[in-house]
Structure 1
């Protein structure tokens, strides 16, 4: 009986302890999420483009000075070597005349020394004259020859300076813009006039970002039809030659440069044209908020939410591009997946979450 009396209090304590050890329920962390959109069917679209030169140059003077004249106007056709503009060149031309005079005098003295040496060599071969006098005349002729070479170099430099006061057309084309006014003092290399070649024209057009994938697909690129605004049938097929690397973050459009298979007769520099894109399913890469990314330096992960268990799993992704607060990624995520878009640093693998709709959605 005494043993039973001692055991009863201990047994009651054990029962109380077992009753207090209840399993704690896992706390669901509320999270904001984004659902990855599926493929998008792009209906036939039409944009407005402009005919632009594929090759264009900006000409400048190679020395400083005051702009004296502009020889051509915007829109005027020019030929290679045609004078486009000139600087005030009175100083350069005065220097040229001086160097020309020095060269002519040096040439006369060299000719006289050459002729005198030739005459004396003839006498010396006949036994008339001295070796010392022959060597003296030979030395004088060499000095005159060196002076003539220096004068020729100085003359060539002066001629170059005069030529540098002129801008000539480097190609056949059309003047597209002037960047300087008559009377303006220009530094060397300052842009003066723009000249576009008419041998190869292309079309520039701005399109929404979702069209870039189908348009630049190397296996099956989207077909592009470019035509005058007034005559759709009189156009040409085109292909994307270049995509400008900068995406406008506000309008989310990107500039394409289109190469034409043939140049329609109604295509003129600066004219507006219609650019039509064929319908196609756009297989765009997933786009997410940048706040969904986490991971150590050089690595990127997102938390994918399991639809059945509401648990999060880490998925590695590759960031392809970023525009503002949005990123385009590639990885083991697909349309319909839900990913955590805020508070990613406070989660752990397998944690259960509660989805919270964004306010206003």
Structure 2
């Protein structure tokens, strides 16, 4: 009986000890109970662009006006004064023909002019003399008529000789090929000593002014080229984007390539653009801007499409409702709900909750 009475206090003390241990566990700090490890996540930067992907065309930088210059007379080239790549001014001599024969013809015309002038002066003086004699009755009307006819003929011969001198002077000036505008020599098509015909191309000159990108447009892109916004990037300077304007679109396709030649004027250019450079013309539509996100970034649990955005300061997640315009094989097209540059969780959004603190481990290339 005594042993049973002594066992009861022992059991009671054991129960009290167990209860005390349980209560001590319940009094741990709330922070230790609620603390969760940071979840590693992969993100993608939100970037808004045209809903329709821009199309690019590769072309060559050319001058708006490119002319082949030639002499207006036939002759032998005596001098070529410029080389390919030379920058010239309007009126600057480019090449000269042998002028020996034209100088002799000019001298001959000048001598004929001097003779015609002398003959005219003599006949006019004779007419004036006979006119005075006729007034005094010392000459006949027949003599006066003859004098008038001779004077008129001599005057006409003088005018003809004057025109001949002018023509020879012009011909001599044609022996010097002049630049018709400021520009750059792009080709030399004849050499000194070569005999060239009238109108044969001797110098190719690209006129100074706004450069243009010469491209070939496929038939499927004609409407986009006419109504889109164009920009140009040079292969030599990929970091610089130049605005461009469609200036010319050929109405008929090239017989060989079945494409349509087009010219885009490149605006806001400087000396860094040289003729012949390779350029990429990008055509963008004027449609509303959208963001393309990975398919795994979209969470739809019956409350509408949403994404998780990482706060750049606290690294906490915020759930945002988004408007999805559509889907393709690789991306969801988001029209609104996020801002440019937001860090959007790219994968594993089904395991996350708003307020979770995350750790950025990678940025998805998208």
| TM-score (normalizing by structure 2) | 0.55
What is residue 79 of structure 2 aligned with on the other side?
69
Larger Rg: 2
1:241 is the counterpart of 2:248: yes
Unaligned segments of structure 1, at least 5 residues? 1-40, 282-361
Q: Does 1:125 align with 2:135?
A: yes
Q: TM-score, normalised on structure 1?
A: 0.56
User: Does residue 1:269 correspond to 2:275, yes or no?
Assistant: yes
Distance 2:78 2:251 in 1: 38
Q: CA deviation at 1:280?
A: 9.2
Match of 1:158 in 2: 168
Q: 2:74, 2:196 within 8 Å by CA — same for their partners in 1? A: yes
Map 1:130-141; keep pairs closer than 5 Å.
130-141=140-151
| Matching residue within 41, 57, 62 for 2:67 | 57
| TM-aligned CA distance change 1:248 to 1:213, over 3 Å | farther
Deviations along 1:55-100, whole A, 9 cap, x unmatched?
2211122332211111222222333333222222211221111111
Q: Distance in 2 between matches of 1:42 and 1:153?
A: 68
Pair 1:188-2:227 in alignment: no
Residues 120 and 96 (structure 1 numbering): CA distance in 2 closer, same or farther, change over 3 Å? same
Q: Distance in 1 between matches of 2:194 and 2:215?
A: 36
- Conserved? CA contact 2:186–2:206, under 8 Å: yes
Q: Secondary structure at the match of 1:259?
A: strand
Question: What is the number of residues matched between the two proteins?
Answer: 235
Deviations 1:267-320 (A, max 9, x none): 343333342233799xxxxxxxxxxxxxxxxxxxxxxxxxxxxxxxxxxxxxxx
Q: Deviations over 1:212-236 (max 9, x none)?
A: 44223xxxx2321113442644521
**Which secondary structure state, in structure 1, belongs to the residue aligned with residue 237 of structure 2?**
coil
Q: Aligned-residue CA RMSD in angstroms?
A: 3.0
Q: Deviations over 1:25-51 (max 9, x none)?
A: xxxxxxxxxxxxxxxx97434444332
- Relative distance call for 1:224 and 1:126 in structure 2 (3 A) is same
Write the distance in 2 (CA, Å) between the matches of 1:232 and 1:209: 30
Give the whole-Å Cα distance in 2 for the aligned partners of 1:248 and 1:114.
Answer: 69
Instruction: Work out whether residues 203 and 257 of structure 1, in 8 Å CA contact, stay in contact via their aligned partners in 2.
Output: yes
Q: Secondary structure at the match of 1:109?
A: helix
2:185 partner SS: strand
Gaps of 5+ in 2: 1-50, 288-366
Q: Where in structure 2 are the equivalents of 1:1-361 lying within 5 Å?
A: 43-206=53-216, 210-216=220-226, 221-228=227-234, 229-230=236-237, 232-239=239-246, 241-243=248-250, 245-247=252-254, 255-260=261-266, 262-265=267-270, 266-278=272-284
Structure 1 residue 210, shift from structure 2 partner: 4.1
> Following TM superposition, by how much is the alpha carbon of 1:103 offset from its aligned partner in structure 2, in angstroms?
1.0
The separation in 1 between residues aligned to 2:83 and 2:177, in whole angstroms, is 14
SS for the counterpart of 2:213 is strand
Distance in 2, matches of 1:42 and 1:249, equals: 30
Q: 1:255 to 1:113 in 2, by over 3 A?
A: same
Partner Cα separation in structure 2 for residue 280 and residue 125 of structure 1:
92
Could you tell which deviates more after superposition, 69-78 or 104-113? 69-78
- Residue-by-residue CA offset, 1:141-197 (whole Å, 9 max, x unaligned): 122123223323333332333233232222232222111111112222221111222
